[in-house]
A and B are shown apart, each in its own frame.
Chain A
Amino acid sequence: MNQFRLFPEEASNLAPQVDAIFWFEMAISAFFVLLFIVLIVTFAIRYRRRSESEVPPRIEGNLPLEVAWIVIPFAMLLVMFYWGGLVYVRAKRPIENATTLNVLGKQWMWKVQHPEGGREINEMHVPLGRPVKLVMASQDVIHDFSIPAFRIKQDVIPGAYMTQWFVPTQLGEYRLFCSQYCGNGHSQMIGRIVVMNASDYQAWLAGFVPDESPSAAGKRLFESWGCAACHGQRAPTMAGLYQSKVLLSDGSIVLADENYLHESILEPAAKIVASYPPIMPSYRNQLSEEQIFDLIEYIKTMQSVARPPGPGIPPTGPIAPMPAPSTLPVTGDSPRRIPNNPPERHPPGFDIPSNLKSP
């Protein structure tokens, strides 16, 4: 980590893809820079002014040449655009079976929360070869979660969740930086990423004695803030909500992912569930981002009551639409929730701790 290098280590699935584009563009760039240097030096020597009254021949231009140096660079640029876009889209694409880590940026530290309850500051332990999904929030200003060895970088904008996927591919320790200027502690908002073998990672997690798992903390918050007083009665139930599709009052349908839940807590009026009145107050400045992380972890564990009974609750499978609360008028026959098919798969034991499977 502290060694002098000319080129960064490649420690994630994205790194070789990013570097391939880099070397491709470097080769083209080096070619043109050398070409121009050779031409300039050659012309400057060959056509140097030999007498003060010298007047060179007149050359106005050359249309085929102009077309050539418009079309050829443009074609090269299109290749660069296409290749770069491909890697970008790939990097933004969700990876199945990813372990979700919650990352909170605040002046001036990174807090990482593992689903089982391990919490770290300015460090992040991840298992080798296992996909990781980061759900990132900022408590104050814009930060940027950047791991050069993984070639990933994402601004963490306050007010919304940012997500990032990657697969670590090389054991070792790597730098974590805040790359978006955030104040006096900006250059100290750095940390360490530790890539471990899956078994070492499990042992490391087990060695953690968490005070309380995130979802348990969320359950406590859910009860102490009296969320259940409305939700399930006058307001939509939380059961089975996560990763379902929700019909809104304006007719649009949204996926109830982390960002939707986060927004609905802070800005309830932004997306109103169809046929429910907009009665929920904003919890902005009342709940911290860490508490919201916990709440969402708890909401993720709340499974639908309308689910067919069976031994335990399978982590996969379609989630049934919720029956409309009887106290509210039902407009037409449009379902409030459209079953999400297929839902995100969770590795067993990650998002749904066994003690919380049955509400």
Chain B
Amino acid sequence: MTSIPYIPAYATAETYLNRSYRIRSWLLTVDHKRIGILFMISITLFFVVGGAAATLIRLHLLSPAGTLVRVETYNRLFTLHGVIMVWFFLIPSIPTVLGNFLLPIMVGARDVAFPKLNLASWYLFIIGGSFTILAMIFGGTDTGWTFYTPYSSQFANGHVILVITGIFVVGFSSILTGINFIVTVHQMRAPGLTWFRLPLFVWAIYATSVVQVLATPVLAITLALVGIERIWRVGIFDPAVGGDPVLFQHMFWFYSHPAVYIMILPAFGVESELIAAFSRKRPFGYGFIAMSSVAIAIIGFLVWAHHMFVSGISIYAGLVFSLLSMIVAVPSAIKVFNWIATLYKGSIALKTPMLYALGFIGLFVIGGLTGVMLATLGLDMHVHDTYFVIAHFHYIMVGGAVMAYMGGIHYWWPKMTGRSYSDFWGRIAAITIFLGFNLTFFPQFVMGYLGMPRRYAMYPPEFAVYNILSSAGASILAAGYLLPLIYLTLSLKYGERVGNNPWGAVGLEWETSSPPPVHNFHKPPVVTDEAYAYHKLKFTPES
């Protein structure tokens, strides 16, 4: 690890990319790197669909009476946007793309523990996605992504069952990926790679996998029960047939709050890698960052009812869940403080991935602090179910998870493809996304505190200014997302070829060639040092 020899990737005999060009070699691959690429292409398509729905929503809300679609269509659009973005983009994004590609390399393994199961995860994802796309083609449904009963089980229009089936199936993809990663981290680490030598990305993915495996079955059960009630009118959630609608909310959020951590924990992992690489420093308080991921994974299971403070739960339940939600904010705060401390006396290079990483901190902090406001009982009873909540979770999900995903893609793109992209356009896109994002979602905080409820197809005229600002921001944001799609695609053909370690970063993935060979390493690695031994970094004249 002390020196980084330069091996021109294109000069080596075989990489995972040029091994075979046949379509069959991709669709039947068991190579974790190829599966990662398959996921990347699939979730990008879903992101485009979910983003198109968001664009239509923002266009529609340009005027108080609604400009574009009928109310029925609007309700189906926000449902589609939520379902696609949550289950078909955010939850799979970092684990299945970056996790699949990098986790085995980072632990020095040839592949994940169960390569065929890994491919099965992708097929389940595609099958689940097909159900959802099919439902969309038939006209979608209007339940909202939360499927609140008894609306979803008795009153909703459209293809609820089809959408639920899609999510049910994709849940198994999530579970299988989680199992695969847990076993890989436990069993496949290279000689000398102890737990506390693992990169923080691995810690984060590991914690995420545990949550995926434990929480996702609850979602499957809950959605199955909704389906049973909808088809056979068995009284489970609908009080008209003897059920309890609040029971649904408990079950749904028992999955869906941990699901928030399935989305953001991997982003924390990426963030730690980016901050370390572009400060050329060991992350400040490595142990604290690693353990805070584990703490979030555990405490994250105990806060679900903070989604239900106005759902008629008892005052005592409200107090307990408010306190636990406050506690879960602490490990997130630990991470932010440590990332910023890592910058101190670093060697900071403001390359594209680092811009995303620094933007992430700003947006995540705003998302986190407004989350604390929502966990405050006395405030939640005012801002619950308003645009304040919408703004809050978009700061976490888009400002946090998507920014980290974009940063991670830009950081590891040279490793995945063996080519570099235009850093100039990369930085332009990162700044555009940051500004567009803030213009889209910051006005929603103000609008939310004023009381504008979520899921309104029409709204009173006093909210028009905020909605127009938000829609203007959304158009900038959309342009920001289109740019990487263009220059990253162009880089596949025109990008300069890169060496093993174009960023001068430390980590097992930077010791192998770019793109990596089929079995990841030319000779099996032996780890003799901690994950971030930047102080031992020596530069050979390379680039």
Contacts and interface: CB of A to CB of B under 8 A. Distances in A.
B457 A187 contact: yes
A142 B148 contact: yes
B535 interface: yes
Contact of B382 (A61, A151, A266): A151
A187 B456 contact: yes
B362 A36 contact: yes
Contacts of B155: 107, 140-141, 183
B460 A7 contact: no
Contacts of B156: 183
B142 interface: yes
Interface in A1-48: 1-8, 17-18, 21-22, 25, 28-29, 32-33, 36-37, 39-40, 43-44, 47-48
Interface string A157-180: 111101000000000000101111
A44 B322 contact: no
- Residue among B157, B380, B382 with the highest chain A CB neighbour number at 10 A: B382
Chain A CB within 10 Å — which of B330, B347, B453 has the most? B453
A66 interface: yes
B372 A80 contact: yes
Interface in B88-142: 142
Given A33-B362, A141-B150, A158-B240, A49 B349 contact: yes
B75 A184 contact: yes
A231 interface: no
Contacts of B281: 56, 58-59
Contact of A177 (B345, B380, B451): B451
B290 to A, nearest CB: 12
A99 to B, nearest CB: 21
A133 to B, nearest CB: 16
Contacts of B519: none
A285 B449 contact: no
A84 interface: yes
A162 B312 contact: yes
B280 A56 contact: yes
B282 interface: yes
Interface in A235-258: none
A69 B312 contact: no
Nearest to A177: B453
B216 interface: no
Interface stretch (B47-55, B332-340, B400-408, B426-434): B332-340
Given A49-B348, A85-B377, A77 B327 contact: yes
Nearest to A87: B378
Contact of B150 (A29, A80, A146, A158): A158
A61 B240 contact: no
Contact of B369 (A29, A53, A180): A29
Interface stretch (A88-96, A194-202, A313-321): A88-96
Interface in B365-385: 365-366, 369-370, 372-373, 375-382, 384-385
B390 interface: no
Residue in B150, B334, B454 whose Cβ sees the most chain A Cβ within 10 Å:
B150
Contact of B312 (A66, A155, A177): A155
Interface in B433-478: 446, 449-451, 453-462, 465
A86 B343 contact: no
A2 B460 contact: yes
A36 B330 contact: no
Contacts of B362: 33, 36-37, 40
A272 interface: no
Contacts of B457: 186-187
B228 interface: no
B378 A91 contact: yes
B195 interface: no
A44 B343 contact: yes
B260 interface: no
Interface in B309-341: 309-312, 315, 318-319, 322-323, 326-327, 329-330, 333-334, 336-338, 340-341
Nearest to A285: B240
A88 B318 contact: yes
A312 interface: no
B296 to A, nearest CB: 14
A57 B345 contact: yes
A284 interface: yes
A5 B462 contact: yes
A65 B245 contact: no
Contacts of B453: 144, 146, 177-179, 187
A190 B329 CA distance: 35
A52 interface: yes
B462 A47 contact: no
A188 interface: yes
B462 A49 contact: no
A25 B151 contact: no
Given A47-B348, A55-B534, A32 B151 contact: no
Contacts of A21: 376, 378-379
B369 A91 contact: no
B22 to A, nearest CB: 40
B288 interface: yes
Interface in A281-322: 284-285
Interface string B281-321: 11011111000000000000000000001111001001100
A225 interface: no
Contacts of A155: 310-312
Given A36-B362, A49-B347, A158-B239, A77 B326 contact: yes
Contact of B450 (A8, A49, A84, A183): A8
Contacts of A180: 148, 385
A73 interface: yes
A47 B343 contact: yes
A153 interface: yes
B539 interface: yes
Nearest to A60: B282
Given A7-B449, A61-B284, A181-B454, A70 B334 contact: yes
B504 interface: yes
B501 interface: no
B247 to A, nearest CB: 11
Contacts of B380: 84
B459 A187 contact: yes
A134 to B, nearest CB: 13
Nearest to A31: B369
Given A21-B376, A69-B334, A183-B155, A152 B381 contact: yes
A148 interface: yes
Contact of A17 (B142, B144, B288, B378): B378
A83 interface: yes
Contact of B460 (A62, A146, A157, A190): A190
Given A154-B312, A284-B242, 9 more contacts: A32-B369, A53-B539, A69-B334, A81-B375, A85-B318, A88-B315, A88-B377, A91-B378, A159-B240
17 contacts: A25-B373, A25-B379, A32-B365, A36-B361, A37-B362, A40-B361, A43-B346, A44-B348, A44-B350, A47-B348, A74-B327, A85-B318, A85-B322, A146-B453, A157-B245, A181-B148, A183-B156
The 3 closest A-B pairs by CB, nearest first: A148-B451, A159-B239, A87-B378
Interface of B: 71-72, 75, 142, 144, 148, 150-151, 154-157, 238-240, 242, 244-246, 279-282, 284-288, 309-312, 315, 318-319, 322-323, 326-327, 329-330, 333-334, 336-338, 340-341, 343-350, 358, 361-362, 365-366, 369-370, 372-373, 375-382, 384-386, 446, 449-451, 453-462, 465, 504, 534-535, 537, 539
